[in-house]
Amino acid sequence: QSVLTQPPSASGTPGQRVTISCSGGSSNIGSNTVNWYQQLPGTAPKLLIYTNNQRPSGVPDRFSGSKSGTSASLAISGLQSGDEADYYCAAWDDSLFGWVFGGGTKLTVL
Amino acid sequence: QVQLVQSGAEVKKPGSSVKVSCKASGGTFRSYGINWVRQAPGQGLEWMGRIIPILGGANYAQKFQGRVTIIADKSTNTAYMELSSLRSEDTAVYYCAKDGGVGAAAIDYWGQGTLVTV
C-alpha cells in the first residue's frame, strides 16, 4: 500500500494528451513539493519533473507538472510510442521523515 | 554530473544477509543524501532509508527498522546498504539514489540497480 495514490494505468493514442494524477496528504504533498519519475522497462527511474513543475535539462516540454493542495498531476502532450513507461510521483513526508512514492502508473500508447 | 555505480547481482539463502555498495562520482558526496529504494518484481518503488554522509547517522523506513543498516565511507565516496534476515519477499532490485541533502527537493540521480534474489 503506497502512501501516495496513483491510477494503476493510463492510455492514449499518438499525439494525444494524457494526465496522471497523484493524491497524498498534509504531511507529504500538502507541505512539500512533488517530483515525477519515468521508468522505462528494465531501467532505473529517471527524474522527469521536480519541484512540482520544473523539468531537468533534456526533458522535453511535452512533459509538465502541477500541484494543488494535496494532489498533483503529470501531463504528457503530443504522446509518442517512446513514452510507454511506468510513471511514479514522489514527495518528502515530514511525518515519516523519508521519501514516499506513488504505486506507479503504467502508460500505454495505443 | 553525478554517477552512482552499484555492485553486482547477488543470490542469497533465506535468513542470510546481503550488502550492496554504491560508489559515487561527481558532486560533493559528503553533503548529499544517499537513499536506498527497492523494487520487487512487477511492483512499485519502496523507500528503505537514507544517509547524509556529513551528518553520519541514517534514518530508516519503519518497515525495515532493525533489519537494514546504511553506512557511508567518505574516504571512498561509497555508500553501503546491508539487509539481514532475508526472506523470499526481499527479492527485488535495490537502487541507490542521490538527493540534495538537507532540505532536498528531489532524488535526482539513480544507480543502475542491483538484483538480489533470495
pLDDT on residue A33: 97
Shortest distance between the Cα of B34 and any Cα of chain A, in A, equals 12
Q: The cell 495505443 sits on which residue?
A: A110
Phi and psi at B30, nearest 5°, equal -65, -25
Give, as one character, the DSSP assignment of residue A56.
P
Q: Residue A62 pLDDT more than 90?
A: yes
CB pairs A-B closer than 8 Å: 58
Phi and psi at A80, nearest 5°, equal -125, 160
Residues in chain A within 8 Å Cβ distance of B110: 44-46
Per-residue pLDDT of chain B (118 residues; tens, 9 = 90+): 899 999 999 999 999 999 999 999 988 888 899 999 999 999 999 999 999 999 988 999 999 999 999 999 999 999 999 999 999 999 999 999 999 888 888 999 999 999 999 9
pLDDT on residue A46: 97
pLDDT on residue B108: 95
Cβ of residue A61 closer than 8 Å to a chain B Cβ: no
pLDDT tens figures, A65-106: 999 999 999 999 999 999 999 999 999 999 999 999 999 999
For the residues A8-23, what does the mean pLDDT come to?
98
Cβ of residue A44 closer than 8 Å to a chain B Cβ: yes
